[in-house]
Structure 1
């Protein structure tokens, strides 16, 4: 009887022990069983321009006060993943900057990745990877006349990256599957230089605009839409003139026939500079930079010179003004309709 009791007690302990192990394993069931386990490892391509007619890495002038590498963007803070399923539906999830476990059902899917830390960019038509686009919010500037008739005036886009993988097949595995991706830039920087010949000492504030730039970019492959927009930006005064680092999607209809506008006319690009003098007077200058932009459709350096503020304009009136005065530098956000 004693031996029977011992056997029963031992059996109960074994069963309890095995039950406990199974219960513990249930907490990590996916890790220890056949399931889809995809681990994204993200690399970020930190390029601010692409080489076309000008190799700015070779042509860079150190006297400009910036190193070429100073203009490189930083990696984004996080990633938005959109998984397009065979039945036409899609699902979204967020990953940290370096990547991480990507939720995905078994089967073949299209995978679209872009950064999720933008502020001014508006995403549209995300229901399919082929139509997913990014644009930017409209702004107004009361003193700026139309550089190109009918173009929207827009804010600079934030730094945008993207990566697209068509027909990725997810399988159930025992071990995690590494999924390396490269996040490519979809926005580029134009370093714009306005050089003054005379009268810079009269200038208190400066801002500008570049007309004819792409209004939108497709997230899957980085090609731009055929509609043009005028990008507004603020400028910084230097000891030789005015400069800015303007971000954009590049030129419209790239890499197609980007020398032609949506209406069939030849593409042209107008650069504006607006300065407010110490006496409060506002002067505006325009430059045709078509040749420069055509030669660098995705970022680069735009330079204009010969700008003059006459002594008459600079000394007119009765003294200075408050550089924080209302009506200068304020831009009104106009949300885009999503349809």
Structure 2
């Protein structure tokens, strides 16, 4: 027998490379048969835990919690934003692919608001909430674009440059936190968790209208100009475009020892108000005779704001009307002022500044 060849029964020989291929094949069969059946899994997402703090939003209540919240992750490279609905108001987990994201979290969802609509949602910087219900109201010879239904309360938090790295993929048994957040307090490298503290994107406006002849008014509405049309969720900056806000005056309170003079109040939400300009207030009132209407425009409007130290800003508006003319009641509401007519709406208990 010569090296590299093997004699078989018919006297022929088998080359060495054929025998080698045979042994390699048998070895591979042995490995496959001896190993357990293990599937190779390739993860392309990471699990991120979002924790949400509502203490500075004015929305830390069960009624608002029932709506949940929304989280939008905008890829920094310009890819399609990823939207997650957070059924749990305070904590939720989401799964993200590798990449760098800018994040916006806000209360409710895009479709849960009656008086707020959204635009510019394809980019982080341009996502904008605006007044959904507006009409053009006549003032003299011109029309004024007016909000007829104020926005609901809105709050948001943002995170910029949040990175999902390759080593985070498939981390479904643990959580991690990285990223730079505008309202982020958690920075534990061992926990991949985003902690967000939501801030208000709307402010409450409390108006106090001093009325001479309050006993002659049955119902009244106001229109206040200089109201911001919209707000950008990422920055909290309001748009340069301003409009007017219409609201009802309620809660008539007569001055002490007076049956004629007193105050009316109105409370509503706005995205913002321009403090750099003077404001005008327009009032329309139906008097108790059922047929007389009183209208007035006032420039002596004081607009101030107060922060409670916890991120809750209240805007106060004060004005004084001309004397309301005396009229005879039409008999449907007795003599003098009637607080039970439908036009007044519900009574509102609100602390207002008194000079």
TM-score by length of 2: 0.63
The structure-2 alpha-carbon separation of the partners of 1:234 and 1:99, relative to structure 1 and needing over 3 Å to count, comes to farther
CA distance in 2, matches of 1:289, 1:182: 38
The structure-2 alpha-carbon separation of the partners of 1:243 and 1:134, relative to structure 1 and needing over 3 Å to count, comes to same
Deviations 1:60-102 (A, max 9, x none): xxxxxxxxxxxx5555432111111224211211103213112
Q: Pick the aligned partner of 2:200 from 185, 191, 199.
A: 185
Deviations 1:39-78 (A, max 9, x none): 111112446xxxxxxxxxxxxxxxxxxxxxxxx5555432
After the TM superposition, which parts of structure 1 deviate over 6 Å for at least 4 consecutive aligned residues? none
> Residue in 2 aligned with 1:268?
278
Residues 215-234 of structure 1 mapped to structure 2, 5 A cutoff: 215-234=229-248
> Residue in 1 aligned with 2:133?
138
Q: Pick the aligned partner of 1:167 from 161, 164, 171.
A: 161
Residues 17-28 of structure 1 mapped to structure 2, 5 A cutoff: none
State the 1:294 CA deviation. Answer: 8.7
- Higher fraction of helix: 1
Deviations 1:289-318 (A, max 9, x none): 56525999x64211223542221xx228x5
Specify the SS of the correspondent of 1:201.
helix
Check the 8 A contact 2:248/2:266 in 1, yes or no.
yes
Check the 8 A contact 1:81/1:112 in 2, yes or no.
yes
> Residue in 1 aligned with 2:299?
288
The structure-2 alpha-carbon separation of the partners of 1:102 and 1:271, relative to structure 1 and needing over 3 Å to count, comes to farther
> Residue in 2 aligned with 1:93?
84
The structure-2 alpha-carbon separation of the partners of 1:279 and 1:291, relative to structure 1 and needing over 3 Å to count, comes to closer
Check the 8 A contact 2:204/2:314 in 1, yes or no.
yes
Matched, 1:249 2:271: yes
Q: How many residues align?
A: 259
Check the 8 A contact 1:214/1:248 in 2, yes or no.
yes
CA distance in 1, matches of 2:102, 2:306: 34
Check the 8 A contact 1:79/1:99 in 2, yes or no.
no
The structure-2 alpha-carbon separation of the partners of 1:308 and 1:320, relative to structure 1 and needing over 3 Å to count, comes to farther
Gaps of 5+ in 2: 1-35, 176-191, 255-262, 308-312, 334-339, 346-355
Check the 8 A contact 1:43/1:181 in 2, yes or no.
yes
> Residue in 1 aligned with 2:103?
111
State the 1:149 CA deviation. Answer: 5.4
Gaps of 5+ in 1: 1-17, 24-28, 48-71, 253-257, 260-266, 330-339
CA distance in 1, matches of 2:102, 2:224: 36
CA distance in 2, matches of 1:304, 1:268: 12
State the 1:235 CA deviation. Answer: 2.0
State the 1:245 CA deviation. Answer: 1.1
Question: Aligned-residue CA RMSD in angstroms?
Answer: 3.4
Specify the SS of the correspondent of 2:215.
helix
CA distance in 2, matches of 1:291, 1:239: 20
CA distance in 1, matches of 2:163, 2:221: 49
CA distance in 2, matches of 1:306, 1:209: 13
Larger Rg over CA atoms: 2
TM-score by length of 1: 0.66
CA distance in 2, matches of 1:80, 1:195: 42
Which of structures 1 and 2 has the larger relative contact order (alpha carbons within 8 angstroms, sep 6+)?
1
Q: Pick the aligned partner of 1:84 from 54, 74, 86.
A: 74
> Residue in 2 aligned with 1:278?
288
Deviations 1:243-293 (A, max 9, x none): 0112101125xxxxx63xxxxxxx332122222122222212222256525
Matched, 1:124 2:125: no
The structure-2 alpha-carbon separation of the partners of 1:274 and 1:217, relative to structure 1 and needing over 3 Å to count, comes to same
State the 1:140 CA deviation. Answer: 3.8
Specify the SS of the correspondent of 2:102.
strand
